[in-house]
Chain A
Amino acid sequence: MPQRPYIPPFVFGILALICLSIAPYLVFVYAGIEKEMGLAQKIFYYHVPSAFSMFLGSFLCFVFSIFYLWKRDKNCDLWAACSAEVSLLFGTLVLITGAIWAKPIWGAWWVWDAQLTLTLILWLILAAYHMLRTYIEDPVQSARFRAVLGIIGFLNVPFIHYATKLWRTHHPEVVRGEEISLPPDMKMAFFFCVITFFALFFALLFKRVSLAKARDELESLKTEI
């Protein structure tokens, strides 16, 4: 009888909880307040790691989608779908927190800037991926369509990352090449938040995979009966 796969979500969950209890101290106490943007700049500590987590999810979806098209392994489709769902969550947070930051700094919730628009396109692709899973009844056809969409979605990520170099944008450039243009205290808080969000991403991903596997098992048991 298969057991509940507790260990990975538990380990990443504990790691995320530890990081989450330290991160607020680094963000609100250790890192200084930026002179021009004031407290709105602190949104950046969770906004950018959310974007990195969205990219990570899209990357995993891309890899598992390629493997699915190559091997036709149902497990690869399951991992790709779970990665896309968690990526969609972080993508939603990126768009919302970005708008909240933009209002006091740019004076508008949204501008049709290259980086913002490309991020919105990636979010729409991830949303479409989720809808395909829900609405196409044939599981094989749905998995094939989604795999193609998962690959297309990730191809958008390098354009989002390099948008500030490729086009004239309003968006601030935090990562310049391999350098982070921040004072040491802010850099430390930023890197810690990136680790925290990655731990959180994997904790949620493993939990989502565990749920999907349990649902598959339930479906196959029902079919047997």
Chain B
Amino acid sequence: MQHLEYMTAAYIIIWAAILLYFLSLSKREKAIWEELRELRATITKNNTP
């Protein structure tokens, strides 16, 4: 098993980076949609006579 540690390190870094980026996008997207929903609700409430 020549250079097993290098291969393992490379694969861990690749998957960790992609997973972290994906999770960061999901978290930011969720927060923005939440804010948008609240804002739309406020606008609708203010426009209702």
Contact = CB atoms under 8 A, between A and B. Distances in A.
A221 B35 CA distance: 11
B10 A204 contact: no
Given A38-B3, A39-B2, 11 more contacts: A40-B3, A40-B6, A40-B7, A43-B6, A43-B7, A100-B6, A207-B29, A211-B25, A214-B33, A215-B32, A225-B42
A202 to B, nearest CB: 13
B4 A225 contact: no
Contacts of A42: 7
Interface residues of B, number: 27
Interface of B: 1-4, 6-7, 9-11, 13-14, 17-18, 21-22, 25-26, 28-29, 32-33, 35-36, 39-40, 42-43
* Chain A: number of interface residues, binned into ranges: 20 to 34
A47 B11 CA distance: 10
Contacts of A50: 14
Contacts of B13: 93, 96-97, 100
A176 interface: no
Contact of A218 (B17, B22, B32): B32
B36 A39 contact: no
